Amino acid sequence: MYLEAPQLCEPSVEDAIDRHPLIVTPDTALLDVIDLMGQRRSRTCALTPSHGSALAKANSTSCAIIQQDNQVLGILTERDIVRLAATRIQDQPLPVSDFMASPVVTLVEDDFQDVFSALFLFRRYKIRHLVIVDEHQQLRGVVSQDSLRQLVRPANLLKMRRVSDVMTTPVIHAFESTSILDLAQQMTEHRVSCVVIIEEDEEYDLRNIGLIPVGIITERDIVQFQSLRLDMAKIQARDVMSAPLFLLNPGDSLLMAYEEMQRRRVRRLVVSWDWGKGLGILTQTSLLKIFDPMEMYSVIDSLQQTVQELEEEVERLKQG
pLDDT (tens digit per residue) in 135-162: 999 999 999 988 887 776 667 678 778 9
State the amino acid at position 229 in one-letter form: R
Residue type at 232?
M
Q: Give per-residue pLDDT as tens, 70-86.
A: 999 999 999 999 999 88
Show me where the domains of the chain are located. 13-152, 159-290
Domain 13-152: homologous superfamily in CATH = CBS-domain (3.10.580.10)
Q: How far apart are CA 191 and CA 301, in angstroms?
A: 33
Is domain 159-290 classified as CATH 3.10.580.10?
yes
pLDDT digits (tens, 9 = 90+) for 232-264: 999 999 999 999 999 999 999 999 999 999 899
Matching CATH topology for 13-152 and 159-290?
yes
Q: What pLDDT is recorded for position 39?
A: 78
pTM above 0.85, yes or no: no
| Mean pLDDT, rounded, for 180-202 | 91
Output b/e per residue, 276-295; b: 16+ Cβ within 10 A.
eebbbbbbbbbbbbbbeeeb
Say how far apart CA 317 and CA 314 lie, in whole Å: 5
Q: CB atoms < 10 A from the CB of 38, how many?
A: 22
Please tell me the distance from the alpha carbon of residue 5 to that of residue 153, in angstroms, as a whole number: 10
Residue 93 pLDDT = 79
Residue 206 has pLDDT above 90, yes or no: no
Q: Rounded to whole angstroms, how far apart are CA atoms 139 and 107?
A: 10
Q: Which residue has the higher pLDDT, 125 or 90?
A: 125
Q: What was the pLDDT predicted at 45?
A: 37
Residue 40 has a pLDDT of: 44
227, amino acid identity: S
Give me the mean pLDDT over the 99-124 stretch.
90
